[in-house]
C-alpha cells in the first residue's frame, strides 16, 4: 500500500494497482497542493463531507477519470445534479463492499454543507478494511469523540489518518488521544499548515505520539509518499 499526501486532507492511496483519492482539494484551489486535478488518476474517490476544502476538485476529477465516488447519500445526490453518475451514497454506520475492500462510514463531529449551500447531510470518516489486510481509519474533519473508542474496541487499525490542525478540527492534543482510542499502529496527520489558523508543529506531535503512546507517526511533505 502506497500513500501520498497532496496537502490538507487530500491523499492518494494505491493498493494492488487500484487508485483511491481522498477529499480532492488540489492546485490552485489548495494553496499547498503540488498537483492539479488534471494530473491525478483515480479509480475511486472518497469524500468525507461537503466543505470546499474537501470537494473543490471533486466534480472535475470524477468526470475526467470516471472514478466511482464513495460518499454519503446527500453528496451523492448533489454529484448526480452536477453530472457525476457513478456514486455510492452510504450513510453513517453503513458499509459497502468495493473491489479493493469494505468501506464503512464512521461518526464525525463537524458540520457539512456544499459550496453552493446545498445540505450535505452529516460529516463522517471512513473505516476501510482493504483486501490486502490493511485496516485504515480516515477520521475526516472531526472533533475528538468518544465514538472513536468503538474502532479500538473492534481491533484497532494499522493506520489512522487524523486531522491535527486545531481551529476547525481536533488539534494535536486531542489527536494524541484519538490515536490511542482507535488503537492505531501508525498515524499520518493531515488538515494542518494549509492556512494560517491551522499552523501546527507536526514533528512535535509525532515525537509526543511516540513518547507518550509508543505510536509511530509519519510526517509527509506535500507530494511525498510512504509505503505501509
Ligand atoms: Ni470541514
Ligand atoms: Mn476541512
CA distance 104 to 110: 18
Q: Which band of pLDDT confidence, cut at 50, 70 and 90, is reported for residue 110?
A: very high
Residues 1, 11 contacting (CB under 8 angstroms):
no
| CA pair distance 40, 33, nearest whole angstrom | 12
Ligand nearest to the CA of 166: 2
Tell me 113's DSSP state.
Answer: B
Determine how β-strand 68-72 pairs with β-strand 101-107. Answer: unpaired
pLDDT of amino acid 190: 98
Q: Which pLDDT value is given to residue 165?
A: 98
pLDDT value of residue 57: 98
pLDDT category, 18, cuts 50, 70, 90? very high
E strands within the chain?
2-5, 11-15, 18-22, 44-46, 68-72, 87-90, 95-98, 101-107, 124-130, 135-138, 159-163, 186-190, 216-217, 225-227
Confidence of residue 222 (pLDDT cuts 50, 70, 90): very high
pTM score, whole prediction: 0.98
Query: Taking a C-beta distance cutoff of 8 angstroms, is the pair 54, 26 a contact?
Result: no
Query: Strand 186-190's sheet: what is its strand order?
Result: 95-98, 101-107, 124-130, 135-138, 159-163, 186-190, 216-217
Q: List domains and CATH numbers for the chain.
A: 2-222 (3.60.15.10)
Cα of 170 vs centre of ligand 1, distance in Å, is: 11
Rounded mean pLDDT, 140-154 = 97
Q: What is the pLDDT of residue 119?
A: 98
Nearest-ligand number for the alpha carbon of 163: 2
Nearest to 164 by CA among 179, 151, 150: 179
- For residue 50, the ligand closest to its alpha carbon is 1
Question: Distance, CA 183 to ligand 1 centroid (Å)?
Answer: 24
Ligand nearest to the CA of 49: 1
Per residue in 31-43, pLDDT (tens digit) is 999 999 999 999 9
Q: Residue 217: its pLDDT value, please?
A: 98
Q: Please, which residues have CB within 8 angstroms of residue 48's CB and are 6 or more apart in sequence? A: 9, 22, 23, 54, 108, 123, 124, 125, 126, 138, 140, 141
Amino acid at each position: 500500500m502506497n500513500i501520498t499526501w497532496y496537502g490538507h486532507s487530500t491523499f492518494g492511496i494505491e493498493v494492488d494497482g487500484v487508485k483511491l483519492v481522498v477529499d480532492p482539494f488540489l492546485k490552485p484551489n489548495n494553496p499547498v497542493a503540488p498537483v492539479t486535478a488534471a494530473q491525478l488518476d483515480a479509480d475511486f474517490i472518497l469524500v468525507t463531507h461537503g466543505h470546499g476544502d474537501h470537494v473543490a476538485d471533486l466534480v472535475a476529477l470524477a468526470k475526467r477519470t470516471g472514478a466511482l465516488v464513495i460518499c454519503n447519500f446527500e453528496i451523492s445526490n448533489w454529484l448526480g445534479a452536477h453530472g457525476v453518475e457513478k456514486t455510492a451514497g452510504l450513510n453513517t454506520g453503513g458499509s459497502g463492499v468495493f473491489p479493493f475492500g469494505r468501506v464503512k462510514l464512521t461518526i464525525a463531529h463537524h458540520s457539512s454543507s456544499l459550496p453552493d449551500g446545498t445540505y450535505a447531510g452529516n460529516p463522517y470518516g471512513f473505516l476501510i478494511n482493504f483486501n490486502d489486510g490493511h485496516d485504515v481509519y480516515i477520521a475526516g474533519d472531526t472533533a475528538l469523540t468518544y465514538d472513536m473508542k468503538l474502532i479500538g474496541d473492534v481491533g484497532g487499525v494499522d493506520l489512522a489518518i487524523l486531522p491535527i490542525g486545531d481551529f476547525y478540527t481536533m488539534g494535536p492534543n486531542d489527536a494524541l488521544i484519538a490515536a490511542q482510542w482507535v488503537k492505531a499502529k501508525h498515524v499520518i496527520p493531515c488538515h494542518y499548515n494549509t492556512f494560517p489558523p491551522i499552523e501546527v508543529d507536526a514533528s512535535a506531535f509525532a515525537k509526543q505520539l511516540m513518547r507518550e503512546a509508543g505510536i509511530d507517526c509519519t510526517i509527509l511533505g506535500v507530494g511525498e509518499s510512504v509505503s505501509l
